[in-house]
């Protein structure tokens, strides 16, 4: 059993130790982890415009990206590698809105420039290193 003084030293020592670990991990994330993993050097004005369109049209109200958002519509983090630019363009330009399997996507009146920006955003997202997210589905029974 620890005395009151020993317990206080143990608590304060542990607090300081884990605070220093937290500071070191935060510093590493901000200086090394985030810049290398997000491909910030590939963040063009077109990609930024695509992200702004994503936010402006509240796409996250139905879709998820990087695990964040709603679960009504498909997860779109790796949609560029799964479906390709032509599929994304077809979905965004569908004349009556996109509605496979009974769920209807809102019909947006995007210009070709805006569609290209959204596709560029998905391509940039596809190249971001997300430590294995989203996981590949297990095909084993």
Same domain for 98 and 51? yes
* pTM metric for this prediction: 0.71
Q: Are residues 16 and 83 in the same domain?
A: no
Joined together, the tokens standing for residue 135 give: 């996981």
pLDDT in tens, 29-54: 888 777 676 677 778 899 999 999 99
Helices 112-127 & 85-92 angle (0-180, nearest 10): 140
Whether 29 and 64 share a structural domain? no
- 21 and 1 in one domain? yes
How many domains would you assign to the chain? 2
Both structure tokens of 33: 């982890």
Helix axes 45-56, 112-127, angle to 10 degrees: 100
Q: Are residues 23 and 50 in the same domain?
A: no
The beta-carbon contacts of 93-98 under 8 Å, at least 24 apart in sequence, are: none
pLDDT tens string 1-10: 889 999 999 9
Residue pLDDT, tens place only, 90-116:
888 887 777 777 778 888 889 999 999
Reduced DSSP (H G I as helix, E B as strand, rest coil) percent helix, strand, coil of the chain, to 5: 60, 5, 35
Q: What is the pLDDT of residue 141?
A: 62
Residue/partner pairs of 102-107 with CB below 8 Å, 24 or more apart = 103/72, 103/73, 105/62, 105/73, 106/57
> Does residue 48 share a domain with residue 34?
no
Q: Residue 140 sits in which domain range?
A: 43-141
Same-domain check for residues 102 and 126? yes
């Amino acid at each position: 059993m620890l005395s009151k003084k020993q317990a206080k030293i143990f608590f304060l020592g542990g607090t300081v130790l884990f605070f220093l670990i937290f500071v070191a991990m935060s510093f590493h994330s901000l200086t090394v982890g985030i810049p290398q993993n997000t491909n910030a050097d590939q963040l063009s004005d077109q990609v930024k415009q695509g992200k702004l369109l994503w936010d402006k049209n509240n796409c996250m109200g139905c879709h998820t990206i990087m695990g964040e958002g709603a679960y009504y519509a498909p997860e779109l983090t790796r949609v560029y590698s799964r479906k390709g630019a032509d599929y994304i363009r077809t979905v965004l330009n569908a004349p009556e809105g996109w509605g496979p399997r009974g769920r209807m996507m809102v019909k947006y009146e995007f210009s070709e420039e805006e569609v290209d920006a959204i596709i560029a955003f998905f391509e940039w997202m596809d190249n971001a290193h997300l430590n294995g997210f989203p996981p590949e589905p297990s095909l084993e029974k």
